[in-house]
Structure 1
Amino acid sequence: MEFNVSKQAVVAIVPAAGIGARMQADKPKQYLLLGEQSILAHTLDTLLSHPQVDQVIVALHPEDQFFASLTQAKHPKLITVIGGGQRADSVLAAMNQCADNAWAMVHDAARPCLTHSDIDKLLAAREQFPQGAILASPVRDTMKRASTDGVIDHTVCREQLWHALTPQLFPAAKLRQNLLNGLANGATITDEASAMEWAGEHPGLVSGRSDNIKVTHPDDLALAQLFLSQIHNK
């Protein structure tokens, strides 16, 4: 019998327990304003409004004082959990509310420029990549490897190099187990794909939009605002 991924639930997981120290702001970066609402609010709007996303789980800092004031906090598709000190801990906390036979679609709280079309591409890729896949963007710039004293050591060939983006989409049971095992064995887990790679899986790469940026530094805010205005005006 053919495996029908379209009948499995899709649960979007948003780790939002970080404090965003690099933004040098008076609140976690996901709550900084981007136009008329916060970065996180824009992110949640895209996920909550997608017809194939069945549930959104947001992992929050235990002392979060901002989330409850968001309009999106009352959405019937959305639930919250208390996150952990690291991204993987927050994702695992959210996955405790996710059925094993679902697809877990993990997306950065600070990537507000995600589009429905990129979610569509990622979900459609389940047929080609039943092991899971991530949105990614091919590296276009010349890449340099630095030495410890801050000078160029050598140029890195950019062929077959990709920038990892989010969402990252995996069968929930496998992702949960690989995260748990990886953490227990001291693996370096920087994103969900790295947990799958540690376990010997080879996630697929789905070419996503390059404007799906992560707001990390103060000057990213203006760029994200520009991208959002272009997305909404199309």
Structure 2
Amino acid sequence: MKVAAIIPAAGIGVRMQSQTPKPYLLLAGKPILAHTLEVFEGVKEVQEVTVVTHPDDLDYCREEVIAAYGFKKVLRLVPGGKERQDSVYHALKALQQEDNLGVILVHDGVRPFVTPEQIRQVIKAARTHGGAILGVPAQDTLKRVSPQKKVIHTLDRKDIWQIQTPQGFQADVLRRAFVEAYSRNFYGTDESSLLEEMGQPVAVIPGDPWNLKITTPDDLQLAEALLPWLRSRKS
């Protein structure tokens, strides 16, 4: 059965303090989104990609990213919604007529350092478990803090993981999770939280701390510094 990837790229860059939306900021002379799509383009297990972007950026994405870099697997470009969950749901609805769709991946458009092997591991685990996510164990001490910036208590770090993307799901499981979430007016911060809400187990695959999500100017500077090293590591 086919594997489809949904790439949310509708962020407007408030934390980035930039007039240019985050996915279209340049990393080594190329839009961040193009770096991300390049990885999925090279993974043979992924047959098609749907990109979700801000309605104002549809033409730019189509012409300056998808066409300019020749991404053949990007079959759909859909407008984003108010929240990330809405954006992913727009893409999910665009896929509803697809036959023989087995696994759907969701991956942040501004997370360009994901590796093909990580994508393959998530696909395999999603087929087995219904849902699978990448994550890394928390390394720092984590504390719950009050609105007044006072420590409430320290969390037990041994059970805390920082979750990344891609997240992968059997297509029918993900569709059902979205329907149930909207029926309860539940909004999660990621897709796996929708499965949690309906009691569906989600497998965690050990990820890589270098699978960076670029959301701030510091992140972009770090990504620029990391890119040559990460490229040499893969070669």
Fold conserved between structures, TM > 0.5: yes
TM-score where L is the length of structure 1: 0.91
Query: What residue number does 1:55 align with?
Result: 48
Cα distance in structure 1, aligned partners of 2:199 and 2:170: 15
Matched to 1:203, the amino acid is V
Query: What residue number does 2:193 align with?
Result: 194
Query: What residue number does 2:71 align with?
Result: 75
Query: What residue number does 2:21 align with?
Result: 28
Q: Deviations over 1:150-178 (max 9, x none)?
A: 12222111011110100000011221221
Secondary structure, counterpart of 1:133 in structure 2: strand
User: Is 2:202 the partner of 1:209?
Assistant: no
RMSD: 1.6
Matched to 1:63, the amino acid is D
Cα distance in structure 2, aligned partners of 1:209 and 1:219: 19
Name which of 89, 93, 96 aligns with 1:92: 89
Matched to 1:217, the amino acid is T
Contact 1:43 1:109 in 2 (8 A): yes
Q: Which moved more, 1:36-45 or 1:115-124?
A: 115-124
TM-score where L is the length of structure 2: 0.90
Query: What residue number does 2:31 align with?
Result: 38
Secondary structure, counterpart of 2:226 in structure 1: helix
Q: Percent identity?
A: 38
Structure 1 unmatched ranges of 5 or more: 1-7
Cα distance in structure 2, aligned partners of 1:33 and 1:152: 39
Higher share of residues assigned helix: 2
Deviation of 1:17 after TM superposition, in Å, equals: 1.7
Query: What residue number does 1:112 align with?
Result: 112
Structure 2 unmatched ranges of 5 or more: none
Q: Which moved more, 1:89-98 or 1:37-46?
A: 89-98
4+ runs deviating over 4 angstroms? none
Deviation of 1:71 after TM superposition, in Å, equals: 4.3
Paired residues in the alignment total: 226
Q: Which moved more, 1:60-69 or 1:212-221?
A: 60-69
Q: Deviations over 1:36-59 (max 9, x none)?
A: 101111111111111111001001
